[in-house]
Amino acid sequence: MQASFSIGARENIELLKSKLDTEFALLQNDGIKINCEQSPPTGGLTFLGYNITDYGNSSYSEEETRVIFKHYIANVVSDVILNSWEKTLLMDIIRQNYYYFTTEEQQLIYQMALKQLNHDIETNEDIFVQYLSRKSLILQKLLEYLHTNDRLIIEGFIKFRLKDYLQELSAVADRAVDDFMLEREYKEFIKLLKYFVEIQEPRLDTVQVLMQSTGGFRLLDANNKNISSELLDGFIIESGDPEINFEDLLISALITIAPNTVVLHMADNGQHSRTVDTIKSVFGDRVRCCRGCKICEKSEKIRHNSEKK
């Protein structure tokens, strides 16, 4: 008795065939032979037809072998949907739902969304877990479908059987748009701050920024003296108040002084990296980073003593 099965698709057909051939080759160790026939494209669809031509000498019954056979198919198809179709589906969702963005903006949103979907070299454990969750969802839907069907058209299966999965992709696209809008607003804000700095006369030639482990900061002049409150128009630069946004306060203070040179003392183990990036964006080549002077050493000692307590 032979088991027949066919898979149709408009794209990625060669990738499907290659991966299925690799998987089915593993069954040959049990003497199970599977034949594949590829039909010419019809109406844009290409079909792969599979038949079990020899059940071999395995301990599995013919019915059990057919179940294993379909598990192999479901595993390969779910992988190809995730790693190939998913990108196309995501781009289609962005173009359809966010048509009012330019092509370039849509591409930026797409790249942000790909990072959330684990299509990026740098990822984290939470994103990988989400990737495995999508894989599990698709795999389960495929197994349910293949239990009663011997013919699969992948694009149709995605459209009508993977609605939950498509909704998840839409949610990812929505988050990517939110991130894009925040980033665009941030860039416009930085551009405005740069303009303020450029049009102001410097009140001091050099300002040194000493960022503290407590979250606050100190501003020193070129002679390592605390900058007077008069220059800061009443800014409070050292406080334990958790409600104070120290990044906004620091940037405002620096813009008020508009120095020709900003020296950042970096002995903080990257704790203030976001603030540092903002200062560099606003002040550009006026910024100089220091990582080893006496001020840095003193700050490091204070930090270590604070951690011991």
pLDDT digit string, tens, across residues 87-134? 999 999 999 999 999 999 999 999 999 988 876 545 567 777 888 899
For residue 236, what pLDDT is reported? Answer: 46
Is residue 197 within 8 Å of 255, Cβ to Cβ?
Answer: yes
Average pLDDT, the chain: 86
> 235-244, pLDDT tens digit by residue?
544 444 555 5
Residue 86 per-residue DSSP state: H
Domain boundaries, the chain: 4-190, 206-308
204 pLDDT band, cuts 50/70/90, is: very high
User: Greater confidence, 103 or 210?
Assistant: 103
46 pLDDT band, cuts 50/70/90, is: very high
Indicate the residue type of 153.
I
Q: What's the whole-model pTM score?
A: 0.79
Q: Which residues pair with 7 in a beta bridge?
A: 48, 152
Is residue 82 within 8 Å of 165, Cβ to Cβ?
Answer: no
CATH topology assigned to domain 206-308: Nucleotidyltransferase; domain 5 (3.30.420)
**With the CA atoms of 196, 197, 201 and 204 taken in that order, what torsion angle do they form, in degrees rounded to the nearest 10?**
140
User: Greater confidence, 177 or 42?
Assistant: 177
1 pLDDT higher than 50: no
